[in-house]
Amino acid sequence: MLIGIDLGTTNSLAACYRNGRPELIPNRFGKYLTPSVVAVDDFGVLLVGESAKEYSVLHPLQAAKVFKRSMGTDRVYHLGDKVFRSEELSAMVLRSLKEDAEKYLGCPVTEAVISVPAYFNEFQRKATQQAGEIAGLQVQRIINEPTAAALAYGLGDKDKDERCLVFDLGGGTFDVSILEFYKNIVEVHAVAGDNFLGGEDFTEILAKMFLEKNVIAPESLDQKNKNRVMKAAEICKCRFAETNSSLMTIQLNGELLKTEMDLAEYETACQPLLDRIRKVLERSIRDADLKLSEIDRIVLVGGATRLPIVRKFVIKLFGGFPSSIDPDTAVAQGAALQCGIKEREEEIREIVLTDVCPFTLGTEVNKSNGVFDESNHYLPIIQRNTVIPVSRTETLYTAHDNQSRILVKILQGESRLASNNLSLGEILVPVPPGPKGKESVEITYTYDVNSLLEVVVKVVSTGISRKTVIQGGNTKLSEQEVQERLEKLSYLKQNPRDEETNRLLLLRGERLYEECTGQDREIIDQAMMEFEQVLKGQDRKEIERAGKRLAKTFDEIEGR
């Protein structure tokens, strides 16, 4: 039996496709939502879901939650005297869902379609697949969460022809997908996201406000009291759906604290989070080459979209009311529909679903700055939001005289500097020594719907070929660490780059490069190389003139 699973940050659930429709599967408590929480009690007994969530209130050091954000990284969780990785914790949640499904359906469940945030990288997707395998499930497909939600929303009316933006704000991640429905075709045009933005962050804002109002330093609280504050903040946050003020009451260190929380004040404090949401939305619309007016419908998914401030933000931004869909169950229903499509169920066998590559895939190259060749430049081969499956080939040449081998680094990311992108692997091929630029290699990247990347490097003159298939693995750097490195680029330490105007200009260029694709990236890269060369001369007047030229280039690109 094949089931669809929404493996969420806060809650998870499963569904199947039978009798011509998706059907939600209740857990052992008769509920559809299973908390994504794992704990180990004092006797070494493993707890998952509701029981683990309850146990975590009194024993926070023996429980783990929000571990989805750490998928594909080296982070470990200590539960008592036991140590677990994120994929192992996720596997326990998946096994619990599998057992509940088998009891409900009355048959063995051996296969699954599992959803992930659209902005999960290759390591995070592979970690999710490994979690499924550990749980005893053969993962037939990894599907993007907003794509699954769009399936649940759009397949009810086969005559629908419209562009849809799926706004998916869950407990720990935020995704946006822009899709088009046309007859029996569901085509994804663009995806964007933030893997460290979700409902938990909105709760933390309220918890921080409470502590500030009561003049309590967060570091003065132990984990149990921190959990109490977060739980009270979650309750208060939910109450804002019905009232403009809410009383937070918490027992801390023997003292009963009562504080009135104001919705308007809370909205102001959440503005930085809303700004991050806006940037993701703008990127997705720009990548889809659309205008706001060309979006026909907005679909809200994820429990955090119930927050009044989020709905108010979406209505104000798009100038209309979003479509009604169950934000908690839509992704699981869509995953179940994908099961039906895969098994070619009669009602939906003709449905065609296309998806896109969420991140740019490329390699490292040398580029001339006008004086000498610089290494550490990123060459995109498959641009983000390219429809998959896809295959692209680039021809590269030797960079040095008498070069006897070429190392092809397989990278994923949006930074113009190769070292700031995620390393997926590498291929080394021998080439006949000779003058610089004489020998060449053809590099072919092929990416499919199951997130498998095949890389083939062929030496043109000898026909020697090397191939590898990237299926993920343990990444040395998490996405958060990559972002931190991006913010600490080496040029910030060099004079006169320490000057604020130059620093901001270069950071703006880095941001624009990540936001753009295609020819614009080449223009930005070349313009920044020229400006960096001027900076090395340390002629302040020339730097000022070059800075104005660079700013004008950025303005022209942003103004398109």
Distance CA 147, CA 170 (A): 14
The number of C-alpha atoms within 13 Å of 42 and in the hemisphere containing its C-beta is 2
Distance CA 215, CA 341 (A): 56
Q: How many CB atoms lie within 10 A of CB 97?
A: 28
DSSP states of 209-244:
HHHHHTT--GGGS-HHHHHHHHHHHHHHHHHTTT-S
> Please, are residues 373 and 422 in contact by the beta-carbon 8 Å criterion?
no
Please name the residues in contact with 533: beta carbons below 8 A apart, sequence gap of 6 or more: 369, 370, 371
7 membership: H or E segment, kind and range = none
> Please, are residues 274 and 309 in contact by the beta-carbon 8 Å criterion?
yes
Q: What residue has token string 């000498």? A: 372
Per the rule left: phi > 0, alpha: psi between -120 and 50, beta: everything else, 215 is left
Active site residues: 6, 68, 145, 168
| DSSP-derived 3-state class of residue 420 | helix
Strand locations in 253-388, DSSP E?
255-262, 297-301, 352-356, 361-368, 373-382, 387-388
| Token output for 128 | 């999710």
335 membership: H or E segment, kind and range = helix 330-342
Which of the 8 DSSP states describes residue 156?
Answer: T
**Pairing assessment for the beta strands 453-459 and 465-470 based on DSSP bridges:** antiparallel
> Please, are residues 332 and 4 in contact by the beta-carbon 8 Å criterion?
yes
292 membership: H or E segment, kind and range = none
| Token output for 88 | 């192992």
| Token output for 149 | 């939600």
Q: How many CB atoms lie within 10 A of CB 138?
A: 11
Distance CA 13, CA 337 (A): 14
> Please, are residues 214 and 248 in contact by the beta-carbon 8 Å criterion?
no
> Please, are residues 209 and 267 in contact by the beta-carbon 8 Å criterion?
no
